[in-house]
Amino acid sequence: MEAQTSHNEPLKRPADEPLETQLAGIVGDRHVMGKPDEIAAYFAEPVDAAELLAVQPATHEEVQEVVALANDLDLPVYTLYTRHLQPADVDGQGIILDFCRMTAIEKLDGRNLLANVQRGLTFDALKKELDALDLKIATPLAATSDSVLCNFLSRAPLKKATLYPEVHLYNLRVVHPDGSLFPTGSHSLNERVDCPNEGGPNLGRWNVASDDIFGVVTRGTIWLYPKTECRDALLFGFDRLEDVVTALRNAPRTELGWEYLAANRRFLASLLQDDVAGLPPWTLIVGFDGLEKLVAYQKKRVLEIMSEMGARPVESLRERITELLDEVWYQASPLHTGFYADCRKIKELDDIAQAHITEAGFSSEEIGQCLLSVNRGRCLYSQYDIFAEAGEHKGLAEDLASKLAARGAFYDRPEGKLADEVIGRVPNLRGHLRTIKDIVDPKGILNPGRYVSMEDPRYDPPTVEIETDEDTGIESDNIRTVEEKLVEALGREWVTSNPADLAAYGRDFTIYAGERPNLVVLPQSTEEVQKVMRIAYRHKIPVVPLSTGFNHGGLAIPRKGGILVDLKRLDRLLEIDEETLTATFEPGVRMRNLYQECQKVTTFKGLKLKPSLPLTLASISLLSNYVSRGGPGNAVKYGFGMDLTVNMTWVLPNGEILRTGPASVPEVGNLGLNWGPGPDISGMFFNADGAMGICTQITVKLFPDMHCEEMVQAAIFDPDPLGCEKACEAIYALSRDNLIEFIYKSHPGVSCVSIAGLFGGKPQDYLFMTPSHPLMILVTGFDEEDLNVRLELVREIFARIDLLEFDRNILPPEMAEMITTLPMKASVGVDGNTVGAYRGAFQWQAGYIQVEDIPKINQEYKKLIKKYWKSSDVKVSMEASLTGTDMQGPLPYCRLGTVEFDYWWDQGNPESVKRAGVMIRKTTELMFEYGCIPIRNMFGFGELLMPRLGVYYDLLKQVRKAFDPANLMHPDVLPATDDYV
Amino acid sequence: MAKDAKVAQNIRPLMEYRNEAWKCWKCGFCRMSHPEEQQTHKYSDNCPRGTRYRFDSFYGIGTQELIRALTCDPPELDITDPEVAKRIQQIVYTCPQCGACQTNCNPTKHLEPANASIALRRWLVEQGLGPLPEHQPLVKSIMNYDNPWMQPRAARQKWAKKRKVKDASKEEVEVLYYPGCTASYDPYIQPVAGWVTEVLNAADVDFGILGKKEICCGSTVMRVGDMDNFRKIRAKNLESLNSTTAKVIVTACAGCFSTLTHEYKDDLNAEVKHMVEFMDDLIQEGRLTFTKSLDLEVTYHDPCHVGRYCGVYDAPRNILNALPGVKFTEMQRIREYSWCCGAGGGCRTAYPEEIAGFAAEARLEEAYSTGARTLVTACPFCEQNLGENAKRTHDRFGMEVRDIMELVYQAL
């Protein structure tokens, strides 16, 4: 597929034609509406619609043309997220975009459980298609419109959020006001792979929950789920809110069951359209969705746990509720409010809500309430529906929301005046939003007034105060002055320009040659990082951050000199919070330390806590791994690091601080949710490697560490392509039944090098005993029974696809001992470090890919090895060259996998370096051909990748220019200058 | 570059470490205690020098890069530049040569950062950049007086007066006790020699000393990189040590123990043992029994030269567990992953506060966190350094530092 062009030229139309005629020329006469009754249908309340036109484009090209036309004419464009627009949303004239004709499912991928759907597609229409394939989606708890895409875009809470709270949507197709098309995620490269990540920072993520202010979203990739053997529910009665909150907080931590939500009588009456007078005040619903044997076990244990909590089983509505779990639940009343909150705050907030509503003249019987346990009970989503005519009590819900927000309720998508209040509470956020708005919609035509006003102050870009025509101010007098200022700011001890120190910072183990920095500083706090940033900018000195310095991509070495900000002294582990299941720490905290400290904290049923760690070394920084998109590790159960990152603190190029996540709203604090209020700007910091600022603090999700675990190994000896196909088949089967915690497909190179590293000899000596595709699978369970059920089911899959289970007892004891579950789940990676022993340098190139494509790319990679690499080792095969493809961490349900290419080389040997350089280039090109977005940046990737990314690359350059006008933040790590390529 | 390369053994010329330097992939294992041994974030660092200065140049990583930069052609660093030379000296001489970096790096990456650091120090001496001025009086004293304290040779055996000790240079003995310079001259450590004597006598061991014929083992000279002078000392020592009938040489000094073990062993007629090993054997054999209860809560600090250098970890623990009334609690960083006290490698002489004081304070805090208030060790340098800093930090930690020999003696 061709790369996207940077600008899709809209058709030029005569400017003197009336607007209606021009629009009709784009979408056809029948799809432009301007009659008052036609316009009024878009509003829930009467509106003066004299100057509004509604258009119904059928394709994204038509949307491009309409939006570009509006932009040319400075006309506002209004889009619908909910069923209706509010009169306050529109200001006199403009164009309403109605997507009712864009209803296609452009791609329905049952294998990878993904679908590309247009914005006008309704839940009902999608369901019909999916039913035929035994598929389904995660359905909203309180949908605000019929559009699947709009609900996902708005982060409408999903009932499945108890396990998977993340937005089930990516790869947006976004139309910018200038008419250009911005495909986000991996679609910025091409549409061969459906992967959430872009080649650099995840800019497209700011389109989520943005109400289209940064571009009109016309299509997206959504997650599908398989219909399972057993869909069931258990219901339990509770008398008191406090008790049901405790149940929603605690029980999901066991990972027994799926949905955990509770509804009061009024809510259930509305949901079921039935009299529920006989029900207790609160009904807790526990949903189950999986293989029959597993569900049977889980139900038994949930009954026991609920009994311990004093809950009464409720049988009467079980079947009806079970049927409804996969149905869309719509917003029950126009008077409603919904927010996330810490479980400990729910009662206090409820008291405020009840008082507010009853003071308005309602009885408590008219208040419907529903609580959803989010991501293992780390917080709750709380929804109030007031069953009354909206007209009479206009403002009731808005006032209530404002009151609750002031007391710590988290409104992640605030509207109207609440949006002003909430966004205004986050320091510097408005300036950030305004600056992004300036880049994508400088005239402010898209849904004007939402989240950001064109009158808002912008981010104040840093300025350079020295006069020079050079790219940087690296010049001896200037460096001396900078050093003096840094010494003043940090103290003499923590600043060096001595070449003997600098020598330690100019190299990593990749082929990328770095320059030595001119200065290295060791700040100890966010404030000190701010000072460094300000000094650097004034003097036009590049800044490169480094946390622990182990890097696969040349990213922790300066390319143009400058100040290297070594973050080792920022090494505080600030908090491990059992309530929200999170840990907050600084860049210098090593993975092993974090894991170890988390293991000391227990939650419900004595479950220890653990972070989800990438499969890498224990000695390195988790903060860097998460913000730089490190290896996906346990993704099959928990998802990628970006979705596990809750709050971040960034020092921006101008020295100001921007916080992301719920904790950015001071009243809210930590919640364990991975987005802040309004548009999700956090994406632009991921995979930016210091080009957007320096991250000095992060809060990540922790998870209950199940009591029981076992590692199962499968050995596939079949030659390729059959061997690789079989391995991938196993990955699909194991992931799709949601049975396991971790799966890693290795290759003989990794196995042999590791074994030789530990036990001596040449890696090739161990080839005879090494399978072509070793699979390591970590299975965990709440208790022995859970584990055994899962193991039994895993072994059934093995039998079904004819996999040989590897019995490690046949190994010498010291070798068998090495195979433990710890490296899988805890990334202690002690033995893993042996992969670096052979030849010293270990090249790791990896990208996201659908697992079914791995056998194909594996075959292509073999050709590259044969042509460019093999003769450096032995002459027989890829295996004997100790190279091959890895796969770790498919996303849950195997929606997306990774492929990794490994080969070893000697950095001290110029010939070996040269050959590695060729291999990197060829492998990178192969990856791009397959639509494979690199997991993380590498200098070389940037050069090859960025120019292929069309609008994304243009956007990235503009963002860099807006926030870092002199291109000083890790310059060239993200090639963002016009003359770069 | 070899798997299982021992700390401070088989040190090769610097150029031989050059290719290995390219193979460091900056994993940072050299910076931290073994991942599976770590218990807390607080006590997870293992490198006193790096933890003190924090720049990469002060860790094992930096040693590799320094070697790479100094040995490439042309060199990336100009050692004729006084500022560069001074910083290199600081980087190299603030390393207490504890070997902790190598203990973690070598099993997986097969590199030898500690040994490379020793080679680098020796190379600096060859370039005229070492030893440091602070070390010079020690070297001179050892060469002129056979001890680092500028004390007369005759004073070496003062401690033995009125004690039942044979003169091994004149009488036949089974065991030669080699107290070393510190226990012979330093009034603070001198009691150790007496306690050893009492213990050996209590176990009815046939032992003797060389008295004023004993000379410094040369450890200090070697550790500061002055190999020419060390070779001279070694030759003299071999003559006197091999002149006795002893089958075993015992010492309670960790520095002497590691030096005699590794640098002399091939040419010595006797086996070398640290007193903790020897005593452990005596206890196991039933030759050493205890009658007194000490009523003490203790923790044990593994001296680098006994532990990482020579692999002796169990013996001192066996002894402490055998002592009546002693409650022994381990610290978090122990055995091969022990945190160095910071005194070694000439650091206490050249960097008494920056490294020796810093590292000792961290160790005392760790010891304090066990609940014990007595920190036991088996090395006079650790004892001097930890003891001195225990006094300085008494208000905070209230720790006392004692030699394991003292406890054994008291329990007799």
Rg, C-alpha atoms of chain B: 21
- Torsion, Cα of A632, A636, A642, A645 (10° steps): -110
Q: In what order do the strands lie in the sheet with A519-521?
A: A495-496, A519-521, A563-566, A543-546
Going by C-alpha positions, the residue among A192, A257, A206 that lies closest to residue A228 is: A257
User: Of all residues in chain A, what percent carry a pLDDT higher than 90?
Assistant: 70
Q: What is the 3-state secondary structure (H, E, C) of A318-350?
A: HHHHHHHHCCCCECCCCEEEEEEECHHHHHHHH
Cβ–Cβ < 8 Å for A701, A165: no
Alpha-carbon distance of A737 to A211, in angstroms, equals 35
- Contact A833/B83, CB-based, under 8 Å? no
Nearest CA in chain A to B18: A908
- State how far the Cα of A819 lies from the Cα of B77, in Å rounded to an integer: 44
Q: Cα angle at A439 between A434 and A445, to 5 degrees?
A: 75
Residue A660 pLDDT exceeds 90: yes
Q: How many CB atoms lie within 10 A of CB A515?
A: 17
CB A143 within 8 A of CB A163: no
B176-184 average pLDDT score: 97
- pLDDT over threshold 60, residue A981: no
Look at B26 and A509 and tell me if their CB atoms are within 8 Å: yes
| Cβ contact, residue pair B35, A836, below 8 Å | no
Q: Compute the Cα dihedral for A324, A328, A329, A333 and give only its sign.
A: negative
Measured over the CA atoms of residue B189, residue B147, residue B274 and residue B359, the dihedral's sign is positive
The pLDDT assigned to A10 comes to 47
Note the pLDDT tens digit of each residue in B11-69.
999 999 998 898 898 999 999 988 888 889 999 999 999 999 999 999 999 999 999 99
Least confident of A126-140, A806-820, B74-88, B268-282: A806-820
Percent of chain B with pLDDT over 70: 100
**Cα of A825 to nearest chain B Cα, Å:** 14
Chain A environment of B88 (Cβ under 8 Å) = 500
SS3 state at A314: coil
Res A3: pLDDT: 36
Say whether A573 and B41 touch across the interface (CB within 8 A).
Answer: yes
Q: Report the helix count and the strand count for chain B, using DSSP H and E.
A: 19, 9
Written as six digits, the tokens of A873 are 């080792």
The SS3 assignment for A577 reads: strand
Crossing angle for the helix pair A416-425 and A396-406, to the nearest 10 degrees: 10
* Chain mean position to CA A401: 27
- Nearest residue to B355 (alpha-carbon basis) of B48, B63, B47, B32: B48
Q: Is the pLDDT of residue A876 over 60?
A: no
Q: What is the largest CA-CA distance in chain A?
A: 85
Using CA atoms, how far apart are residues A241 and A141, in angstroms rounded to an integer?
Answer: 19
pLDDT digits (tens, 9 = 90+) for A119-129: 999 999 999 99
Residue B209 has pLDDT above 50, yes or no: yes
More confident position, B205 or A806: B205
- For B297, list phi and psi in degrees, rounded to 5: -105, 120
A686 contacts A627 by C-beta, under 8 angstroms: yes
Integer CA distances (angstroms), A913 to A506, A885, A909, in order: 17, 21, 6
Q: Report the pLDDT value the prediction gives residue A8, as an integer from 0 to 100.
A: 47
Contact B26 A592 (CB under 8 A): no
Q: How confident is the model at residue A90 (pLDDT cuts 50, 70, 90)?
A: confident
Asked if the C-beta of A563 comes within 8 angstroms of chain B's C-beta atoms, the answer is no
C-alpha span between A376 and A258 (Å, rounded): 9
Residue scoring higher pLDDT (B58 or A811) = B58
E strands in A403-557: 495-496, 519-521, 543-546
Structure tokens at B59: 């860790």
Per residue in B90-110, pLDDT (tens digit) is 999 999 999 999 998 998 888
CA distance A319 to chain B (A): 50
- Distance between CA atoms of A251 and A542, rounded to whole angstroms? 50
User: Do residues A586 and A623 lie in contact, with contact meaning Cβ atoms separated by under 8 Å?
Assistant: yes
The DSSP call for residue A768 is G
What pLDDT shows up at residue A841?
78
Backbone φ, ψ for residue A364 (5° rounding): -65, -20
Instruction: Please say if the pLDDT value at position A814 is more than 80.
Output: no
The verdict on A916 touching B (C-beta cutoff 8 Å) is: no
pLDDT at A643 over 70: yes
Confidence of residue A365 (pLDDT cuts 50, 70, 90): confident
Which residue has 């966190």 as its token pair? B369
Burial-class residue A128 by CB neighbours within 10 Å (0-12, 13-18, 19+): exposed
- B109 and A837 in contact by Cβ < 8 A? yes
SS (H, E, C) B199-229: HHHHCCCCEEECHHHCCCCCHHHHHCCCHHH
Helices A292-308, A784-800: crossing angle, 10 deg rounding: 170
How far apart CA A541 and CA A465 sit, in angstroms, is: 11
Work out the average pLDDT over A883-912. 88
Q: Chain A residue with minimal CA distance to B109?
A: A837
Res. B89 pLDDT band, cuts 50 70 90: very high
Q: Which chain A residues in 497-526 lie under 8 Å from chain B, judged by CB atoms? A: 498-501, 503-509, 520, 522
Q: Judge: A834–B57 Cβ closer than 8 Å, yes or no.
A: no
For B43, nearest residue in chain A (alpha carbons): A593
Closest to A177 (Cα-Cα) out of A273, A101, A77: A77
In chain A, residues with a C-beta closer than 8 Å to the C-beta of B3 are 757, 760, 837
How many other CB atoms are found less than 10 A from the CB of residue A309? 16
Query: A500 contacts in B (CB within 8 Å)?
Result: 57, 66, 77, 84, 87-88, 91
Question: Do residue A839 and residue B23 have CB atoms under 8 angstroms apart?
Answer: yes
SS3 of residue A981 by DSSP: coil
**Distance between alpha carbon A559 and the CA centroid of its chain, in Å?**
29
- Where does the pLDDT of residue A941 fall: very low under 50, low under 70, confident under 90, or very high at 90 and above? low
Residue-level pLDDT at A2: 37
pLDDT at A329 over 50: yes
Would you tell me the crossing angle of helices A722-736 and A784-800 to the nearest 10 degrees?
140
The H or E element that residue A773 is part of is: strand A773-781
User: Contact, A777 vs A634, CB < 8 A?
Assistant: no
**A497, A502, A516, best to mutate vs chain B, most B CBs in 10 Å:** A502
| Interchain contact A821–B (C-beta under 8 A) | no
Q: With residue A262 as reference, give the H or E element that holds it.
A: strand A260-264
DSSP string, A632-645: -TTHHHH--HHHHE
Q: Name the minimum distance, in Å, from the CA of B371 to any CA of chain A.
A: 20
The separation between the first and the last C-alpha atoms of chain A, rounded to the nearest angstrom, is 22
User: What is the pLDDT at residue A391?
Assistant: 67
Distance from CA of A715 to the nearest CA of B (A): 25
Q: Between the CA of residue A650 and those of A579, A611, A688, what are the distances in Å? A: 25, 21, 12
**Residue A187: what residue type?**
H
Torsion angles phi and psi, residue A379, rounded to 5: -160, 175
- In A104-177, at which residue ranges do the beta strands (DSSP E only) sit? 105-109, 114-118, 135-136, 169-175
CA distance B66 to chain A (A): 6
Three-class DSSP category at A219: strand
Average pLDDT of B178-184?
Answer: 97
Chains A, B: CB pairs < 8 Å: 151
What six digits make up the tokens of A500? 């003997």
Look at residue A288 and tell me whether its pLDDT is greater than 50: yes
Beta bridge partners of A781: A708
Amino acid at A407: R
> For the residues B113-129, what does the mean pLDDT come to?
97
Judge whether A733 is closer than 8 Å to chain B, CB to CB: no
Amino acid sitting at position A583 = A
- Name chain B contacts of A625, Cβ cutoff 8 Å: none
Cα gap B224→B143, rounded to integer Å: 14
Label residue A874 by pLDDT band (50, 70, 90).
very low
The neighbour count for residue A981, using CB atoms within 10 Å, is 11
pLDDT at B207: 98
Cis, bond preceding A813 (omega within 30 deg of 0): no
* Alpha-carbon separation of residue B363 from A351, A980, B356, B386 (angstroms): 53, 51, 11, 8
